[in-house]
A and B are shown apart, each in its own frame.
Chain A
């Protein structure tokens, strides 16, 4: 059978924008953030974010995965924490509650800006818009104690 399928790299072809973003992420990374694409899937990134100083996540290094869907940049990247984290806007599965990853996404945003926003979310938890309701409750009722748990988790799961 003469099967003529378009060469795989044509479908695999990466938009120029993704190539540019990747180059810059690797060459000039934002402070406290790394992102490296998988060799076999250039739309899939291994990400690390350092816990911001002054937050309960300080000294922690958190691993995340980031995936650029076919529609990117018209649709937002999919981002998830792989490291366990005690944060009112991040649930057990590592899913993140952040408006720009959902309805507030704009194609003018980039991988870099998304990761910076996530880093900022670590500094400024928002228990009024929770994803992990129990953690949010804890944060609202006894912030000090909740931060203590966040620190413990950081120590336990996010220190290399």
Chain B
């Protein structure tokens, strides 16, 4: 299937506000067609141009120029001795309002300049006449041909390309408005995200907002697990449901892979598959949410992710359309586009950005879907503290009760006691000799309260594990090996 067809079909599946900002592939294609006609009427059909631009040998270049000349000037007073060297340059003039592509034909007469100076029939003049005729025929007021004498025996012939100007005008406008639109999208997305963050935080409140505080610095006896009993089945918060939802979301790695071997942005297809799987899982989890606000928030959250996926498809299609249309431009006209124009759109990061004066087309911003995914990670996910961020590096469970060593590193009381019993003096993380110095005063009470508040279930579980382990150890220290055996 033709790309233009695939492209327009894909655009139809996207939200209208994105569709309206897409590259107008068909129109651009028409302009390329016009440009080819324009060039052909100048005698610069793609084949001729191709040869002109590719030939490295000055002699054959001259021959080519001769051919062109002869197309317009049948009255050839062609001097066999004239060794003419000609070059064709396809160049861009960037004015404030638009890009004007043009062709510069430089024709050199190394032998004798008098012929030129005398105004005798020469190649450029004849081409000039032909071009002027051509421009009148086009009824164009913009197409004019300038001849300048850059040196005594070189003619510079400048041919503005009208359809090409229109082509770049259209492409440039499309890309500019696209960039603007994407900026707006970014802004809107971020503010929606902040609203959502607000909504979720009010449905995922810590237990302290419904239960009295369990801890104070005075109630630190090791066996006060009873006072820790959280209102686990609290009807006032969806804290644990949200934690699970976010956990599933992070693990789904929908848009980006964080694996060690496959790090990076995922392809559109892979993202679609993962999104479907995630949607399926959320269908189940939706019923876990008890508060009305939570369900609405989850729906908004899902819609935002679907939007990112749409945006990803849209950006991919647009980049593809831009790349293809520029490629088509080159292929049809044989005019060589600066290589960076063709390459930047393939890779997210160009190897070397072109100098500013050469940056003809506005570049798409750094992958917007990526930025949006990042925003979710920065604004939304931290609302619900994650247990991994508060776990002990040694036992990998919640670092409860938390002991802050003199060097600032955090471990659970149980692992710290084990280290001390083994006589290990150095901090496992930084090797500072802080372990044996730690005592009761190293309990981080602020963190302890925070943990009891946000991780009531984990705190309780860890506390009872600690107690069980300590009891077992005590028995072993008394010389009773293993569990209790009744023979």
Contact = CB atoms under 8 A, between A and B. Distances in A.
A107 B415 contact: yes
Interface residues of A, number: 21
Contact of A28 (B260, B396, B426, B429): B260
The prevalent SS among residues of A at the interface is loop
A95 to B, nearest CB: 24
Interface in B406-429: 415, 418-419, 422, 424, 426, 428-429
A108 B261 contact: no
A3 B422 contact: no
Contacts of A4: 485-486
Interface string A95-108: 00000000000111
Contacts of B259: 28
Contacts of A108: 393-394, 428-429
A109 B361 CA distance: 51
A16 B395 contact: yes
Interface in B345-398: 393-397
A54 interface: no
A16 B461 CA distance: 13
B431 interface: yes
Nearest to B397: A16
Contact of A15 (B261, B393, B395, B426): B395
B292 interface: no
Contacts, number: 48
A15 B418 CA distance: 15
B482 interface: yes
Contacts of A2: 486
B483 interface: yes
Contacts of B422: 74
B419 A107 contact: yes
User: Which one of A16, A74, A107 has the greatest number of beta carbons of chain B within 10 Å?
Assistant: A107
Nearest to A10: B483
A6 B260 contact: no
A2 B394 CA distance: 39
B396 A17 contact: yes
A106 B260 contact: no
Interface string B448-487: 0000000000000000000000000000000000111111
Interface string A69-85: 00001100000000000
Interface of B: 259-261, 393-397, 415, 418-419, 422, 424, 426, 428-429, 431, 482-487
Interface of A: 1-6, 10-11, 15-17, 20, 28-31, 73-74, 106-108
16 contacts: A2-B486, A4-B485, A6-B483, A6-B484, A6-B485, A10-B483, A15-B395, A17-B394, A29-B260, A30-B260, A31-B261, A73-B394, A74-B418, A106-B429, A107-B394, A108-B393
